[in-house]
Amino acid sequence: MHHARQHAETRTRERRRQLAHEAARLMAEGGIRDYHQAKLKAASRLGILDDASLPRNREIEDALREYQRLFAGEAHAAGLRARREAALRALDFFAPFSPRLVGAVLDGTADAHAPVQLHLHSDDADAVARFLEEHRIPAESRSRRLRLDRERNADLPVWLFSAENLAFDLTVLPHAALRQAPLSNVDEKPMRRASAAQLRQLLADEEIAGYEAHSPA
């Protein structure tokens, strides 16, 4: 009995791993952005239909990182660095709004289509719109629902624009959100985010790691 249960658990684990890798491939090659959609499409393609075998979003994110490292290598690393450097310039530019970098550019899974996502903070709903107008940046207005915490959701203003051949995606949050990041749709925990100083440090650390990796022993 015990042996049969162990065998079933091993099989479920293996299916989860297969599904995570297939979902990651679909995200990397098919441009799917949504983890849930990638998970269901992978399950359908592999014919695995039991819920216990569905991987968590974090497992898919880890598989996506591994896929990009294996199959995109240097090109992915160079593209990611260019996006992070552009993000740093944007963080400096939007300094009046206590900006933070979030999303795929920060966590390292950004592909060639990923926008640079920033959270800006202001209690004046129109301040960011005025700022964009003053600097003659044509931007498209949207809204996005985020979970501020376990009890509260909020529909927040979003501004989309292009610069340096990259897409930028700005979500405007109340100033109080600086104290605690909204919850991630990947794992329901507070989103990872970085200030300009933290991103500058990340870029410096990566540069040092790059030099060490390529210098003779």
Helical H runs in 53-185?
57-71, 73-93, 104-107, 127-134
What's residue 170's pLDDT? 97
- Name 164's Cβ contacts closer than 8 Å, sequence gap at least 6: 86, 89
With residue 156 as reference, give the H or E element that holds it: strand 153-163
pLDDT confidence band for 215 (50 / 70 / 90): low
Q: Which CATH number fits domain 74-214: 2.40.30, 3.30.1360, 1.10.3470, 3.30.460?
A: 3.30.460
Token match 């991630």: residue?
184
Bigger pLDDT: 115 or 207? 115
Please state the φ and ψ torsions of residue 125, each to the nearest 5 degrees.
Answer: -55, -30
Q: Could you tell me whether strands 153-163 and 116-121 are parallel, antiparallel, or unpaired per DSSP bridges?
A: unpaired
Q: Grade residue 213 by pLDDT with cuts at 50, 70 and 90.
A: low
Indicate the pLDDT class of residue 44, thresholds 50, 70 and 90.
confident
- Write down the pLDDT at residue 148: 87
pLDDT at position 71, please? 62
Q: What pairs with residue 121 in β-bridges? A: 173
Q: What's the pLDDT score for residue 123?
A: 95
- Report residue 52's pLDDT band, with 50, 70 and 90 as the boundaries: confident
Amino acid at 84: R
The predicted model scores a pTM of 0.70
Domain residue extents for the chain: 2-71, 74-214
pLDDT by residue (tens digit) across 116-166?
999 999 999 899 999 999 999 999 999 999 988 888 899 999 999 999 889
Q: What integer pLDDT is reported at residue 13 of this predicted model?
A: 82
| 3/203 Cα distance (integer angstroms) | 49
pLDDT of residue 1: 58
Across the chain, mean pLDDT equals 85
Question: In this predicted model, what pLDDT tens digit does every residue of 59-101 receive, in sequence order?
Answer: 887 887 777 776 655 666 788 889 999 999 999 999 999 999 9
Tell me the β-bridge partners of 118.
101, 170
pLDDT digits 0-9 by tens, 22-31: 887 887 777 7
- Answer yes or no: is pLDDT of 171 > 80: yes
Q: Looking at residue 5, what is its pLDDT?
A: 73
Question: Tell me: the pLDDT tens digits for 138-147?
Answer: 999 999 999 8
